Amino acid sequence: MARKTVERNISYDDQRKIYYVSMDLGKDKDGKRMKRYQTYRTLYAARAGLRNFLTHREEELRTPKHDLTLADWLESWMETIVRPTRAETTVYGYQKIIDNHLLPALGHIPLLKLTPMDIQQYYIQVQQSANLSGNTLRRHHDLLSSSLRSAVRQDKLPVSPMDRVEPPRVKQKEASYYRPEELKRLYTLVEGHPLELCVKLAGSLGMRREEVCGLKWECIDYQRQLLYIREARTAFGATIVQKETKTRSSVRTLFLPDDVARLLQLEQARQETWLREGKLKEPSQFVVLDHKGLPYSPNALSLAFTRFVRKNDLPRVTLHGLRHSFATVASFQGVPLFDIGKALGHATPATTGKIYTHLVDHTHEETLMKVSDALK
């Protein structure tokens, strides 16, 4: 039998009149090269067979081989990627989702066998069992998307199953707010109350409650009538941390109205009195303090405001609702949505428009009324 090489990995037996294709299977456990031969009747078929083998071999070589479960990967992802780079509040929120929901439902599944259907069924299951909203489920979706994208980048997955998962539908919450006359009534009732400064910072400057709680005296410039928002005081679980603001656009400088400047000066004088009387052991960096002389936690401040609202029979609005009220009053005064968003620390006008749809509706109403009046 005379076998002659025709092309690389293809030889021809002129006696049997068939083509042999040499297929390299790699090395065995002892390091010995393994090969398999396949015969074909034509050179065309031999070439096609070789191409098909090489294509499948490349796919097989690129396919990760490990026995990691989703639980194993999430633990590794949290320790090596999330904890070193994300804020403590983000880490806390992710860990709660993982421990309370993802691990019990999906943690046992091998990472390489996790399917889009597994995840889609998980959404249905957890929504029914834990009665979670679509907005909350979207956080689960975002966590899984981020973690499995990292798995692909780390060569633990060939592709992410999240690419074929339908995300939970998010429902935009309607902002609760006071109209101008309601905000005026609140200001009248809160005058002289310990919460007055906090109410004015949120209602007249549009500050978030975390920004109010994290405001420091070094960020107040009476001479130039400016207030600098640089930090926020945030709670996660029982832990409270002072950190950078929510986003880069949240770092901003606000004009300080006279009435707010006056309240700040009164608070500064009160803290100096507390210091002399021994209620404060040392000067506080923080502007807003509770009755014990300690910096307010965001949840405690919200609760104090809610109690004040109930006690005075005011429309039910949260402390964060005062930030929405600021935007509403500004819009009623003809301030463009872009400028309102800048004062609130939004990244884009689209963010402002998405949250404050009632402002857009108000603008549309004015526009249509003007057109209607012009045509009378």
Q: Are 132 and 126 in contact (CB under 8 A)?
A: yes
Which residue(s) pair with 239 in the sheet?
236
pLDDT surpasses 60 at 371: no
What is the 3-class SS of 108-160, one letter each residue? CCEHHHCCHHHHHHHHHHHHHHHCCCHHHHHHHHHHHHHHHHHHHHCCCCCCC
260 and 204, same structural domain?
Answer: yes
Alpha-carbon dihedral 113, 117, 119, 125, rounded to 10 degrees: -130
On whether both 276 and 146 belong to a single domain, the answer is no
Identify whether 14 is part of a domain: yes
State how far the Cα of 187 lies from the Cα of 202, in Å rounded to an integer.
12
CATH number of the domain to which 258 belongs: 1.10.443.10
Domain limit, last residue, from 140, 164, 188: 164
Domain final residue, candidates 111, 130, 164: 164
Same structural domain for residues 25 and 97?
A: no
pLDDT cut 70: percent of the chain above it: 88
Convert the pLDDT of each residue in 128-170 to its tens digit. 888 888 889 999 999 999 999 999 999 899 899 999 999 998 7
What pLDDT, on the 0 to 100 scale, is given for residue 372? Answer: 55
Given a contact cutoff of 8 angstroms between Cβ atoms, the answer to whether 123 and 140 are in contact is yes
Strand 3-7 versus strand 10-13 pairing type: antiparallel
Domain residues for 57? Answer: 3-62
The answer on pLDDT for 187 being more than 90 is yes
CATH number of the domain where residue 107 is located: 1.10.150.130
> Which has the higher per-residue pLDDT, 299 or 237?
299
* DSSP code string of 56-97: HHHHHHHS-----BHHHHHHHHIIIIIHHHS-HHHHHHHHHH
Q: Let me know whether 250 and 228 are in one domain.
A: yes
Residue whose structure tokens are 């950078």? 244
My answer on whether 15 and 38 are in the same domain is yes
Percent above pLDDT 90 for the chain: 53
Read off the pLDDT of residues 311-357 as tens digits, 9 standing for 90 and up.
999 999 999 999 989 988 888 888 887 888 888 887 776 666 666 66
* 373 located within any domain: no
Last residue in a domain, options 164, 191, 222 = 164
Span 231-239, mean pLDDT? 81
Q: How many domains does the chain have?
A: 3
Query: Two tokens at 117?
Result: 């259907």
- Position with higher pLDDT, 279 vs 34: 279
Give the separation between CA 136 and CA 168, rounded to whole angstroms.
9
**Tell me: the pLDDT tens digits for 11-28?**
888 888 899 888 887 777
Q: Are 3 and 11 in contact (CB under 8 A)?
A: yes
Tokens of 299: 């949840």
- What pLDDT is recorded for position 340? 83
Mean pLDDT estimate for the chain: 87
Q: Are residues 78 and 52 in the same domain?
A: no
For residue 246, give both structure tokens: 């929510």
Rounded Cα distance, 4 and 18, in Å: 11
- pTM value? 0.67
In a domain, 375, yes or no: no
For residue 60, the model assigns a pLDDT of 64
118: exposed, middle or buried (Cβ count in 10 Å: 0-12, 13-18, 19+) = middle
- 376 within domain boundaries: no
376: DSSP letter: -
Q: Are residues 81 and 32 in the same domain?
A: no
- Please write the tens of the pLDDT for every residue from 192-228: 999 999 999 999 999 999 999 999 999 999 999 999 9
Residue 349 forms part of a structural domain: yes
Q: Is residue 175 part of a domain?
A: no
Residue 86 lies in a domain: yes
